[in-house]
Amino acid sequence: MLNEDTKTVAHDCGDCPIRHRAVCARCETDELERLEEIKYYRNFEAGQTIIWSGDRMDFVGSVVSGIATLTQTMEDGRTQMVGLLLPSDFVGRPGRDGSPYDVVATTDMVMCCFRKRPFEEMMVATPHIAHRLLEMTLDELDAAREWMLVLGRKTAREKIASLLSIIARRDATLNLQPAQNRLVFDLPLTREAMADYLGLTLETVSRQISALKRDGVIELEGKRHVTVPDFSRLLDEAGDDTDGGLLV
Amino acid sequence: MLNEDTKTVAHDCGDCPIRHRAVCARCETDELERLEEIKYYRNFEAGQTIIWSGDRMDFVGSVVSGIATLTQTMEDGRTQMVGLLLPSDFVGRPGRDGSPYDVVATTDMVMCCFRKRPFEEMMVATPHIAHRLLEMTLDELDAAREWMLVLGRKTAREKIASLLSIIARRDATLNLQPAQNRLVFDLPLTREAMADYLGLTLETVSRQISALKRDGVIELEGKRHVTVPDFSRLLDEAGDDTDGGLLV
DNA sequence: CGCAGAATTGATACATCTCAAGCTGGGTGG
DNA sequence: CCACCCAGCTTGAGATGTATCAATTCTGCG
């Protein structure tokens, strides 16, 4: 089983699609060489659980392609997604043994993993890694706080619009599309996963998506393929400051 | 005005009440000496805004005593608290100019401030600071994610119980009380601030507090002085895993 | 073709919000 | 010393948004 997951195919860090955004972004050539020695790639299938809450983790790593979610679950089954991991995002926490969350692949995924102990040693030795990780963690903290506003104060319609605009924005920057008012992308989440992200039920998600479609804010082709004819309109529906800025 | 706020009274870092928890916790003696050169104390009154959202910040620092809040506000006035800063917590973000949130003192406060530029230079030079800051930021991220579960999935009653248990826990650890089942503390927040924290209205907060009191989960003396006769009962009401552990 | 998972839609229940009216306690000025 | 005031809080009644329960309807796939 593990043998199937693990691929030792060596990619060159120089060609890596997430080279400029991941935890290694600031590394010099010699630092990259040392990283290459402790790295290995691992594939996960859609639906596969990467880490169970509470389990011991012996690696950390970066999402190379695909999407994963962090979720928390209460005893009675209520679940809340607390993080969405897109390519270049970091998984795991140096200095702590277990993850407090379930990490689940929602699409097929490739991860660039580092054995935890050697990585922690490298962090001490090469400040570039520690510095970049701090920067990324501060960004994640900002994103989490942004999301607290969504969860605590926005209506169901605003929540959906917020999620769509975040996915649209990240998708556009990743694919290096120019900032446009019309955007097209695929939803990487089921209605249920969206509900878990937004603190709603899947029925409410479905109703609000239908409503946004009915009102012309979005267009749907199938269940997943979304067209946003006017991005600033979507931002408006999300209740965000539309300080003019597109795709920052 | 600024003259009144700023106190140049030099405290010795060795005697500092937050020495072992703050961003300087890992510093050696010589590092502390360099920190002392760029630090200054500043007092804030209850209700005073420390930083306005979007404003330029020329300092970072640690809360020495008192309590501050981070809040986000939408155009129509809806507000969500996204952070509660207690003694030893860090304020500001090295590497970024402005704060995306309002930072407000909810009680009289003392802060140990560092001028931002010299502090950023020290971060590069002394890994102990950067490392401790990463550790603290990861803890804050965990706390933020915990809070996302509260905001997204818990009922009003569970939300109140969650907030009370967090305050009780932090208060007990700060005052180094032994782990007991009976806890006594003062609420540092108004009903409105609690509502902003929990994504509720202040009326709902008031009703749920009354209900918890009626059900014997808490006892009130005045509006702010709280007694929790059975802490595990409170944790139960919060919907948390009561994995036996008191005050970890 | 027909099944199973995913999504939509409808009817009703219920938790929380909203609006509105008092209450309480600590401070102030006459 | 009392009367008043006001911010903070409590309580009530009704409105509303979202959850819940229950059918269908899609859609991709063996």
For residues B167 and B186, is the Cβ–Cβ distance under 8 A?
Answer: no
What's the CA gap between A231 and A237, in Å, rounded?
10
Q: What is the pLDDT of residues A141-184, one digit of tens each?
A: 999 999 999 999 999 999 999 999 999 988 887 776 677 788 99
Q: How confident is the model at residue A95 (pLDDT cuts 50, 70, 90)?
A: confident
Q: Is residue B126, in this structure, part of any structural domain at all?
A: yes
Q: Is residue A164, in this structure, part of any structural domain at all?
A: yes
So what's the pLDDT on residue A12? 85
For residues B133 and B71, is the Cβ–Cβ distance under 8 A?
Answer: no
Last residue of a domain, one of A143, A173, A205: A143
So what's the pLDDT on residue B9? 57
Last residue of a domain, one of B85, B120, B143: B143
- Which residue from B220, B214, B215, B244 is spatially nearest to B231, judged by alpha carbons? B244
So what's the pLDDT on residue B1? 40
Tokens of B197: 């924290």
So what's the pLDDT on residue B243? 56
Largest interatomic CA distance in chain A: 56
Flag whether pLDDT at B5 surpasses 50. no
Structural domain including A21 reads 7-143
Counted across chains A and B, CB pairs separated by less than 8 A come out at: 104
CATH code: domain of residue B214: 1.10.10.10
Q: Is residue B149, in this structure, part of any structural domain at all?
A: no
Q: Which residues of A lie closer than 8 Å to B, measured between beta carbons? A: 70, 72, 74-76, 78-80, 82-83, 93, 95-96, 100-101, 124, 127, 130-131, 133-135, 137-138, 140-142, 144-149, 151-153, 198-199, 239, 241
| B104 and B21 within one domain | yes
Among A151, A154, A235, A241, the residue to mutate for chain B (most B Cβ within 10 A): A151
Tokens of B133: 């800051």
What's the CA gap between B234 and B240, in Å, rounded?
9
So what's the pLDDT on residue B4? 44
Among A76, A80, A204, A205, the residue to mutate for chain B (most B Cβ within 10 A): A80
Q: What is the distance in angstroms measured between the alpha-carbon CA of B220 and the sugar C1' of D3?
A: 29
Indicate the residue type of A210.
S
Q: What is the pLDDT of residues A128-142, one digit of tens each?
A: 999 999 999 999 999
pTM, entire model = 0.92
So what's the pLDDT on residue B180? 76
Check A74 against B239: CB less than 8 A apart.
yes
